[in-house]
Structure 1
Amino acid sequence: MERQPDESAADRARPGRRGAWAALRPLVLRLHFYAGVFVAPFILVAAVSGLLYVWTPQIEQAVYAEQLYVEPDGAPLALHEQVRVARSELPGAELDAVRPATGDRDSTRVLFDLPGLAESHRMTVFVDPYGGEVLGTMQTYGTSGALPARTWVDMLHRNLHLGDAGRLYSELAASWLWAVALGGAALWVSASLRRRRSARRLLVPGAGAPPGRSRSVSVHGATGLWLLAGLLFLSATGMTWSQYAGANITELRERLAWSTPSVSAGTPNATPGVDAGIDTVLASARDAGLDGLVEVSVPRDPAAPYTVTQIDRSWPSSVDAASVAADTGEVVDVVRFADYPLMAKLSRWGIDAHMGVLFGVPNQLVLTALALGLVAVIVWGYRMWWQRRPTRTHALGVGRPYPRGAFRALSWPWRVAVAAVLAAIGWAVPLLGVSLLAFLAVDRVVGRRAGRPPRAAGGNPVSAGAAGAPATGSRPV
């Protein structure tokens, strides 16, 4: 069975003798252990719910086929006629936008704002563009126009249906995922180099490892190494949706002028109250090059223009937007995706790839492999913990943590450097910082209790030697 190296505090305190990694490795090992034990359940839930979400487009198309698809029958009705039919279905509701049918078999979506709907939710009427029949009415969510089944899975992945409080779970998972993945990869590669493992044993899960914990370590480490780039990507893009780290990311993008440009919606009409009609507006946007899937946003202010936006998130991305004067139907402003700043493009592509829509089924297959691989790494990680338990004395116990004292064994310059880096990360990724402080607090309490000598029946302390174990290893990280 492969043993973890038993490094003394003196060894850890002499980084110059074996290099910086030799000094930092025990600290990384202990933090990786704590994060793996306590944060892995949140990451596991995110992986499983994310895996389910990846395939919701196909689920949606099957469940809601009657609302999404029609049989072509002659020439389609004018778009304003389809909107009139939808208005009669929801009298009194405020018209918000229209998503015209694109293909011959697609239905038209007419979207309304209703009091009491959650943020980014709209009531959508599905209309047959040929016969003008209403095919159904249901809530849709977000730019993707997610239908109820997809929305339910989305909210499960986002916040476990617990509202803003539930979003802390997904932010905690995304905040720690990159740190756990990087730390684990560094530990596995360094151990492989130190033991002079072959490339095959480094990269092939379980290769050359004897049964037992050594094989679990090999599967856990090699699989995690293969997943590293994908996990870092999921962590980075996942944090853009988070409450606290996401706010910092948004602020950084604004300061660096990386924000997504938007079309001007403040151009006043020459004759307020005059409306050229949604058909004219759509035709003007098509002439300006906004083909494919679009959403036509209806102005609330009589003096404001229409906004037409491409909503196809597949590759190549089609997210151009145009502002169209309501009175004349003329295009007054256009924002092209080709003119976006590079970082805004990368952000758009990253989010769409995270959702599995950028490259279609290949994108979904890659995300599926990532999710299943992550689940396997977590399961094998807990198996490693179980296999480290002291079976002879505690048959139902679990593995002990790695020895304390790693941070205090560092030289002062290294302590200052590590503290500064952790403080910076904690500021940028607040939930990681708060949870790390919680880990340290719990570890300190447990360390103090573990360091107390046991008491005899009369209440007098028993010496460490009499207790059968040295009073060492009780210092916190």
Structure 2
Amino acid sequence: MSLTSARSAGPAEAPPPAAPAGSGAGRRAYGLGPLLLRLHFYAGVLVAPFLVLAAVTGLAYTVTPQLDPIVYGTELRADPAGRTALPVSEQVAAARAAHPEGTLSYVAPGAGGTTTQVVFTSPELGEDQHSVYVDPYTAQVKGQLTTWFGYTPVRTWIDDLHRNLHLGTVGRHYSELAASWLWVVALGGLALWWRRQRGSRGRIRRLLLPDLAARKGVRRTRGWHASTGVWLVVGLLFLSATGLTWSRYAGANFGAGLDALDARTPVLSTALSGADGPAAGGGHHGGGGPTAAPPVDPAAIDDVLRIARADGLTGPVEVVPPADVSSAWTVEQVDNVWPVRLDRVAVDPAAGTVVDRSDFADWPLLAKLSSLGISAHMGLLFGPVNQILLAALAVGLLCVIFWGYRMWWQRRPTRADRRAVVGAPPVARGAWWQLPTWAIVIGLPAVFLLGWVLPLFGIPLLAFIVVDLVVAAWQRRRAGAAVSA
């Protein structure tokens, strides 16, 4: 859903020529079709390369759950062979013996055929960590990796490629630009294809299926481009929305909105009764880096796990040691596969009690939707089915973009006296000013607000308009000079 040919406007959408400058003719109002078509063209030509990068790197990311065991099978796998897992405290002690440096950050006990992951932080690592993998049945250390929030090096590398092309903060602009415009391109293409099919027989079939009877060329390419886009539109809107939630600028605005609506993930209090410690905790994922912590007694983790299991925390969990002597341990469910298990408890092992509890069922609706959306965007929520759907979306988007550029190529003039490399824009300049008055009155504030919330939508849109107006003024000046000559 990236490009639309000039002919896709149809007779009902082709705008009349703009009134010459200085002619005194009043502005005539026309529908939204010309504006949608020109905006879709600009976005398709200029934003599509960023969408291609996002689709290709996202496609690579979908296979990381299967890639990790292949590359890091030694570290990640353990053979249960009918044996009973040893106490987690023994596994942590083995990890500490193999890695005496650093502060214990959290422990993810192994289950079934997976190893226990014992994670240490050090100031020199920044956000990275050292993960030691221990066989839960023998307490043998299977290996050590430098990880990022539990991600293996390969998964971290592919994740960085998708998020920022390994360019750091500057690279994040590419993915935010793609997410900011993906919904515009998708909805604009859907609206244009819907308009084109109005009044035709078998409208629904024509919307969903390409016209294979159309002669070869731009008409057949447009059919594949548009009908495939219709099938993808819901998924593309989802990827756009969820991608924006953790982007740099739009994500910050989204977070501010959650704060204003008091819709953040509830804070889990880790303050021990009668202590003057921190009032809140929430695990290793929310921290700003390694901090000084008291020595942790590895033996306490067994009691912490027992209390948390007795309080109903089943499935895979992560155990986070206390931040200081006045704080409790934290146990978090980390099962992101539907139905998710994301409950959390704060445990005081000395008293044998649960200090505080936060259940996913009690989260605000927006916090739930945000968490589920991110899990689905990462291919976790529905397991392999989720991965297959994401891969299909990525491949489909690449096909739609290819067909869009192909239409641009097919529309190029080929006559000897009018030969050009690519086709001209599908609508004459001036569509911005040919909207009905009501559309301008309502649309300008709405677009300004969208541009404020989504800066990497607003800034390129302003650039499109400025370039369009400057080129139009330059062409009018040339035309006027030719007439006067």
Q: Tell me the TM-score normalised to structure 1 length.
A: 0.89
- Does 2:314 match 1:291? yes
Deviation by residue 1:24-51 (Cα, 9 ceiling, x = unmatched): 1111111111111000110111011111
Which of 219, 231, 255 pairs up with 1:226? 231
- Does 2:328 match 1:305? yes
The code of the aligned residue for 2:103 comes to E
Helix, strand or coil for the counterpart of 1:116? helix
Select between 408-417 and 209-218 the one with higher mean Cα deviation. Answer: 408-417
Select between 336-345 and 374-383 the one with higher mean Cα deviation. Answer: 336-345
Does the Cα contact within 8 Å between 1:126 and 1:136 map onto a contact in 2? yes
Deviation by residue 1:367-402 (Cα, 9 ceiling, x = unmatched): 111111111111111111111212224545111112
Helix, strand or coil for the counterpart of 1:463? helix
Select between 250-259 and 146-155 the one with higher mean Cα deviation. Answer: 250-259
Which of 240, 264, 268 pairs up with 1:263? 268
1:410 is matched with 435
Partner Cα separation in structure 1 for residue 8 and residue 80 of structure 2:
69
User: Aligned-pair distance for 1:192?
Assistant: 0.8
Does the Cα contact within 8 Å between 2:316 and 2:333 map onto a contact in 1? yes
Partner Cα separation in structure 2 for residue 7 and residue 172 of structure 1:
29
| Distance of aligned partners of 1:3 and 1:227 in 2 relative to their CA distance in 1, 3 Å threshold | closer
Helix, strand or coil for the counterpart of 1:23? coil
Deviation by residue 1:450-474 (Cα, 9 ceiling, x = unmatched): 333279xxxxx4328x8xxxxxxxx
Deviation by residue 1:291-342 (Cα, 9 ceiling, x = unmatched): 1110000113122110100011001101000000143232111111111222
Does the Cα contact within 8 Å between 2:380 and 2:387 map onto a contact in 1? yes
Partner Cα separation in structure 2 for residue 289 and residue 361 of structure 1:
27
Q: Give 1:138-149 correspondences, 5 Å limit.
A: 138-142=145-149, 145-149=150-154
1:449 is matched with 474
1:135 is matched with 142
Partner Cα separation in structure 1 for residue 17 and residue 276 of structure 2:
80
Q: Give 1:18-167 correspondences, 5 Å limit.
A: 23-72=31-80, 74-103=83-112, 105-119=113-127, 121-142=128-149, 145-167=150-172
Does the Cα contact within 8 Å between 1:68 and 1:107 map onto a contact in 2? yes
Partner Cα separation in structure 2 for residue 71 and residue 269 of structure 1:
45
The code of the aligned residue for 1:25 comes to G
- Does 2:194 match 1:189? yes
The gaps in structure 1 that reach 5 residues or longer are 16-21, 456-460, 467-477
| Distance of aligned partners of 1:232 and 1:13 in 2 relative to their CA distance in 1, 3 Å threshold | farther
1:253 is matched with 258
User: Aligned-pair distance for 1:419?
Assistant: 1.5
- Does 2:422 match 1:398? yes
The code of the aligned residue for 1:266 comes to A
Partner Cα separation in structure 2 for residue 449 and residue 151 of structure 1:
49
Partner Cα separation in structure 1 for residue 460 and residue 440 of structure 2:
20
1:435 is matched with 460
Select between 27-36 and 334-343 the one with higher mean Cα deviation. Answer: 334-343
1:244 is matched with 249
Does the Cα contact within 8 Å between 1:13 and 1:410 map onto a contact in 2? no
User: Aligned-pair distance for 1:90?
Assistant: 1.9
Partner Cα separation in structure 2 for residue 72 and residue 66 of structure 1:
14
2:358 is matched with 335
Partner Cα separation in structure 2 for residue 271 and residue 235 of structure 1:
44
Does the Cα contact within 8 Å between 1:67 and 1:126 map onto a contact in 2? yes
Which of 169, 176, 198 pairs up with 2:174? 169
Partner Cα separation in structure 1 for residue 206 and residue 314 of structure 2:
52
Partner Cα separation in structure 1 for residue 195 and residue 93 of structure 2:
67
Helix, strand or coil for the counterpart of 1:314? coil
Select between 286-295 and 133-142 the one with higher mean Cα deviation. Answer: 133-142
Partner Cα separation in structure 2 for residue 192 and residue 352 of structure 1:
36
The code of the aligned residue for 1:295 comes to E
User: Aligned-pair distance for 1:217?
Assistant: 1.2
Does the Cα contact within 8 Å between 2:8 and 2:196 map onto a contact in 1? no
User: Aligned-pair distance for 1:189?
Assistant: 0.5
User: Aligned-pair distance for 1:227?
Assistant: 0.8
1:367 is matched with 390
Does the Cα contact within 8 Å between 2:17 and 2:428 map onto a contact in 1? no
Aligned residues: 450
| Distance of aligned partners of 1:164 and 1:3 in 2 relative to their CA distance in 1, 3 Å threshold | closer
2:282 is matched with none
1:321 is matched with 344
RMSD: 2.4
Does the Cα contact within 8 Å between 1:270 and 1:327 map onto a contact in 2? no
Does the Cα contact within 8 Å between 1:14 and 1:23 map onto a contact in 2? no
| Greater relative CO (CA pairs within 8 A, separation 6+) | 2
Partner Cα separation in structure 2 for residue 255 and residue 147 of structure 1:
35
User: Aligned-pair distance for 1:431?
Assistant: 1.0
The code of the aligned residue for 1:95 comes to L
Partner Cα separation in structure 1 for residue 184 and residue 352 of structure 2:
52
| Distance of aligned partners of 1:346 and 1:364 in 2 relative to their CA distance in 1, 3 Å threshold | same
Helix, strand or coil for the counterpart of 1:289? coil
The code of the aligned residue for 1:416 comes to V
The code of the aligned residue for 1:462 comes to A
User: Aligned-pair distance for 1:118?
Assistant: 3.8
Helix, strand or coil for the counterpart of 1:358? coil
Partner Cα separation in structure 1 for residue 80 and residue 203 of structure 2:
62
User: Aligned-pair distance for 1:116?
Assistant: 2.5
| Distance of aligned partners of 1:214 and 1:13 in 2 relative to their CA distance in 1, 3 Å threshold | farther
Helix, strand or coil for the counterpart of 1:452? helix
